[in-house]
Chains A and B, each alone.
Chain A
Amino acid sequence: MKKNRVIHVLLTSALTAGLLAGCGSSAAPSAPADQTAEQAGKAEETAGEAETEQEPAEESAAAGEPVKLRMAWWGSQNRHDKTIAAIELYESLHPEVTFEYEYYSFDDYFTKLNTLVASDQVWDVFQLGGNFPMYMDKIHPLDEFIASGVVDVSKISESNLKTTQTTEGVQLGLTNGINTYGIAYDPQLFEEAGAVLPTEDWTWEDYQAAADKITDELGIFGSSTFLNSDFIAGCSTFIPQQGELGQYSFFNLDLTGMGFDDPAMLAPYIQMRADMIAHGSYPDAGASAEVTNIENDFLVTGEAAMTWVAVNQFPTIYNVCQEQGRTLALAPLPRVEKDGNAGATIQSSQMLCVSEDSEQKEAAAAFISWFENDIDCNNILQAERGIPANEDVRAALSANTTEGQKIMYDYVDRASKLPMPEEYNVLSPDGQNEVQDNYLNYIQQVASGELTAEEAAQKTYDDASAIFK
């Protein structure tokens, strides 16, 4: 008897639940009543098709049915917090959309992405930087969504759109921000050590002299580690700084070979790094391994007087140091010669892309459009990924900037006025990671006397040209 009653209760509740669910779906919110039935039918149809043909059911997004978007990015804790807040805002504005997000450090992000590429399960919305060429198969271009109006690019200038296009003009994604590189430093420490402050046209020799002086006087690193960026700062910048404007680049413009012929052009930089490590003014490999992201960089911990930054990182460390009672400043990258090329480029920091594996491509594209264009969203994000490409957003943000952001805006403004080659390429070919790791090892071998700088330059050149064989 008791058993029967339990079953009875279960059956009734199941029935009620079914009825409730039925009511819920028939009263589909937010869509005009006359369209609802038609669309619901359509959605069912497409859902049916999707099951049989494995076609992405994009229409289901338009019909106001629940959409689940998977998204991922890399960055620091600051970025994670801000991005999650922005996602939550989007979810509150679009109740039908829910997010499953994941965030990683840079290296871990690409490890995870690679495994997802292999299993055809790349996140619906994902972040890519200058190494996108190797993920081309997984990027669903935005052109069709721009044409249909899902993605709004009306407030993004042509040149900013171009930063995330292929050479054929295919729009791969929308840039998260415009970026360039610089040296963040603590003027107070320079003055204590009696070192010469960086200028707008300082050279690598000035940089090394200042670093050595700071180490001699204060017993801290003159310059913090550039981590993997030493390859970008060292090779990708040092080469175009030589010769005529635009004469040389590390890789050639279409990433099919090298952009310079003489490996000896690299040797002075490698020599400088090795000398600085030997002198103690630049962290050796052991110390470098202690720095895992910009928030525990030696400049921030007070163990170094300067460090290399992508300028979108500057406001973050500026704020942290401000809490410690220190004021950071931002200087351009040192040059080879005082009146030579600056070697700096204005580029896209990263972009958000829609994945080819996504079954919700339109919803994903709509989110990207909102993420880059919405002022409320960008008020949360605070240009942490770089200076926004949308002019209205830029205007809104610059109305109330923090001190660190103001320095960043001014810096990018100055940098964009420097003479730059008409065409340049900031992309990394597949295989650059290995060249980079080997390059860092060669520097250590030069520091320990196993190699000469010339040999290290030759080996780096050979490694890099081997990519294209």
Chain B
Amino acid sequence: MNGNTAVAGKGRLYRFIHHDNTVGHIFALPFIFGFVMFSLIPILMSLNYSFTDFSLGTKQADYIGLQNFARLFQDEVFGKSILKTLQYVLISVPLKLSFALLVAFVLTRPTKLVTLYRSLYYLPSLVGGSVAVALVWKQLFARRGLFNAIALSLGLPKVNWFGDAALAIYPLILMSVWQFGSSMIIFAAGLKEIPVSLYEAAEIDGANGWQRFFRITLPMLSPIILYNLIMQTISAFMTFTQAFVITGGGPNNATMLYALNVYNQAFKYNKMGYACAMSWSMLVVMSAVTLVIFKTSRHWVFNEAES
């Protein structure tokens, strides 16, 4: 009996079950189930709640139209958290990317220890988002922490990192920069893709190291830079752990990052509806920022097909 007659013989059900589409969907089912149950439905529910005064404590949810969104404009803490989040993103993302690129560039040299170094530098990214590291960070910068102990032993004045509203956000930025590993790995992969022939040709033409970096490496790497820029910008906008564990948003809301503010509204102040409205506002802001990056990218991202 050959295969074809078997299929024909067993009718439509058999054919349906063995169809590529069916098989594919069945294998994708665990993901689809998870996505619908734990992402899509909650996302739609949060959109619904953003028009209500839903509170976790009392469980009331009355429709109040756009009042939540209108209130955002009068909320002092909201305004401050937007500014602080922008400051955080604008400083931490460029710093992190340049650091990642630098390290990736240095680690392209063919030495035997490269793999070891890469793994070492990647470690912070693995543990970086964790509460444990945030607690360590808190201790390092505390009034009697390691950094102040070093400063004192060098005869420098003590710095009150988390007590000074102007300074408090920088340890958080530093922590994010320290977790440059995942961007670094992507950069390293990108650097390997650049054809060696380009460098050889440039060398024959007498280009020095800087010229080679700015004229060959950067343009050839620009699509990867775009990818990293967008991914890191989005994750920077969503930073929560550092602010929650290290500073709790203080002093005077100087580290009140947006995600922490949303969390406070939802779980501490029991204004789930308002928090949902804030999340959706953030989605709009983040989409706008991503769109701007994409739109400007055609001016600086090198595309081989076009040239």
Binding site for B on A (CB under 8 A): 107, 110-111, 114-115, 117-118, 134-135, 137, 284-290, 430-431, 433-434, 437-438, 441, 444-445, 448
Contacts and interface: CB of A to CB of B under 8 A. Distances in A.
Interface of B: 55-59, 77, 138, 142-143, 160-165, 168, 246-248, 250-253, 264, 267-271
Nearest to A114: B56
B269 A289 contact: no
Nearest to A285: B251
Given A118-B59, A286-B168, A430-B55, A441 B161 contact: no
A459 to B, nearest CB: 9
B266 to A, nearest CB: 9
A135 B162 contact: no
B268 A285 contact: no
15 contacts: A114-B267, A117-B57, A284-B160, A286-B161, A286-B164, A286-B251, A287-B163, A288-B250, A290-B142, A431-B269, A434-B268, A437-B264, A441-B252, A444-B252, A448-B165
Contacts of A433: 268-270
Contacts of A445: 252
Contacts of A431: 269-270
A288 B57 CA distance: 28
A430 B56 CA distance: 11
A285 B162 contact: yes
Nearest to B162: A286
B270 A114 contact: yes
Contact of B253 (A107, A137, A287, A441): A441
Given A286-B250, A289-B250, A438-B77, A111 B267 contact: yes
Contacts of B168: 286
A289 B56 contact: no
A135 B57 contact: yes
A134 B272 CA distance: 14
A444 B165 contact: yes
A441 B270 CA distance: 19
Given A286-B143, A286-B163, A434 B57 contact: no
A287 B143 contact: yes
Contact of B58 (A107, A115, A285, A430): A430
A114 B77 contact: no
Contacts of B271: 434
A445 B165 CA distance: 10
Contacts of B268: 107, 110-111, 433-434, 437
Nearest to B269: A434
Contacts of B252: 285, 441, 444-445, 448
B142 A285 contact: no
B267 A134 contact: no
A430 B57 contact: yes
Contacts of B162: 285-287, 289
Given A286-B143, A433-B268, A448-B252, 15 more contacts: A114-B267, A115-B56, A137-B58, A285-B162, A285-B250, A285-B252, A286-B250, A287-B163, A289-B246, A289-B250, A433-B269, A434-B271, A437-B264, A441-B250, A444-B251
A115 B270 CA distance: 10
A426 B253 CA distance: 28
Contacts of A286: 143, 160-164, 168, 247, 250-251
Contacts of A288: 250
A368 B248 CA distance: 35
A465 B159 CA distance: 39
B270 A134 contact: yes
Contacts of A430: 55, 57-58, 270
B306 to A, nearest CB: 51
A286 B271 CA distance: 27
A107 B264 CA distance: 11
A288 B248 CA distance: 10
Contacts of A438: 77
B142 to A, nearest CB: 6
Contacts of B77: 438, 441
B131 to A, nearest CB: 12
Contacts of B164: 286
A433 B163 CA distance: 22
A115 B267 CA distance: 8
Contacts of A437: 264, 268
Given A285-B162, A430-B270, A433-B269, A290 B58 contact: no
A111 B269 CA distance: 10
